A and B are shown apart, each in its own frame.
Chain A
Amino acid sequence: MESKLSRNLYSFSYFLWIVIFVILPILLIVYYSLFDIEGNFSFVNYQKFFTAVYLKMTLSSFWYAFLITVITFLIAYPTAYLLTKTKHKQFWLLLIIVPSWINLLLKAYAFLGIFGTYGVANSFLKIIGMGEQQILFTDFSFVFVSVYIFIPFMILPIFNSLNELNPTLLDAARDLGASAWTAFYRVIFPLTIDGVKSGWQVTFIPALSLFMLTRLIAGNKVITLGTAIEQQFLVTQDWGMGSTIAVFLILIMILFMFLTNTRKRGV
């Protein structure tokens, strides 16, 4: 039938895209990880990955991603909660979301100015008498800017899940004798856990793979997995090693997604 043919025809272009730009790149990464810098087939990259240097780097990347995610979460959850209580919550939400629409580079760039030797931050420190400090190119500035960047992404899913929460559930809990705190951790938090999980997903994995921020803000003080990949591919030109790190990043990503798998539950 003519309709079937045309249907297959337009599905075909999409399937082609899936094969070339989704499946093939992943296979290529895995394939390249099996070649050393000279182009010989070997597992040397994997051996290298399990040496102290790379393991330490992976751990430190994990540590920073974890730190960033936790701090972001600690700020985002109460903020989202307060937002749902405000009168014009959609407006306030929009206000918080707007920064996430601005190009990441621009935000990084703005912080270069704020944290720079002659920037606002240092003028402030001078005024309160702490003297001039090196803020830029430290791990502090990296974590600070990252948290700032990820906050909207964490707030949004948490806000949505809090907002969908049926308010009578809270009343019911209180009615059944729960204190405000008990009601929170026995009712509200479990019911918004899906939002929290998506928030962690959209923070933790990007935090592992940041590379532009580490270069601009952390000044090579922090090396994330993302930075290492960029380094291997574009500076050292060791695509095999870069691909190996990428393979591990993908594995970590899959594992993390699996752990924070959100299942829809009926309420």
Chain B
Amino acid sequence: MFDFKGFSMQWYRELFHDTRMLIIVLNTIIVALLSALFSTIFGMLGALAIYNAKKRQTKNMLLSLNNVLIVSPDVIIGASFLILFTIAGVKLGFYSVLLSHIAFSIPIVVLMVLPKLMEMSPSLIDAARDLGANSWDVLTKVIIPFISPGIFAGFFMALTYSLDDFSVTFFVTGNGFSTLSVEIYSLARRGISLNINALSALLFLVTLLLVVIYHFITLRNNKASGLGVQKR
């Protein structure tokens, strides 16, 4: 790109020599992993809550509320979370970023898990109870194994969303804490630094890797269940 004179590991060495940069990369990874983990757990519980809702209307209402964060523009999520954290007295930094990432990934996990639940024949749960399983057994031995492809897909989606997010993080990150995308943005705004190419390539590769993994997971799902939405 900019005066790119062939491959060189030098920029990468420089990149990681810079401890500040190293910390930012670590932050990004930790936030992504933790937010993916928590949003997967809560998203799964959410999907179960929607699935178990008795009335049609309740189900639809929960789904609409679930999708609010998906359709909302990032600026609005970012700005409203900023207000929320300030009022709640959460110091802007690691926790505010982590909480926001968990919050906006939950609905995505729900949307990944819910179709799997819907696909599951309700007689499967009856069958498990019939064979002596209590609620906990039903959840751990039947439901979770059945929807596990959706859970994995949700986890990876959450991971990707977290790594990918700039706007929301930008609002709630405060001064002392930074993630890769925010860092790239501020570097780009201040004029181009050499680091940025190496950094971008890194982020690019990580994203691509996740996407490929995600792709294979969904591919395997379709094969495994044989019931999934198979397009021609």
Contacts and interface: CB of A to CB of B under 8 A. Distances in A.
- A/B: CB atoms within 8 Å of each other: yes
Interface stretch (B10-18, B70-78, B146-154): B70-78
A246 B166 contact: no
Contact of B167 (A3, A7, A211): A211
Given A17-B103, A212-B167, A234-B171, A22 B68 contact: yes
B112 interface: no
Interface string A76-109: 0000000000000000000000100111111011
B131 interface: no
A51 B156 CA distance: 46
Contacts, number: 157
B77 A205 contact: no
Contact of A10 (B49, B78, B207, B231): B49
A103 B48 CA distance: 31
A59 interface: no
Given A6-B135, A23-B65, A103-B181, A257 B71 contact: yes
Interface stretch (A24-32, A41-49, A147-155): A24-32
A229 B74 CA distance: 11
A249 B49 contact: no
Nearest to A164: B231
Nearest to A228: B75
A101 B73 contact: no
B80 A26 contact: yes
A230 B168 CA distance: 11
B9 interface: no
Contact of A101 (B48, B134, B211): B211
Interface residue range, chain A: 35 or more
B83 A29 contact: yes
A168 interface: no
A206 B78 CA distance: 14
The secondary-structure label for the interface of chain A is helix
Given A21-B103, A163-B231, A212 B73 contact: no
Interface string B167-198: 10011000000000100110011001000100
Nearest to A226: B75
A213 to B, nearest CB: 11
B216 interface: no
B36 interface: no
B82 A233 contact: yes
B69 interface: yes
B154 to A, nearest CB: 14
Given A113-B1, A209-B73, A103 B204 contact: yes
Given A108-B188, A226-B75, 5 more contacts: A18-B66, A22-B68, A212-B166, A239-B79, A253-B71
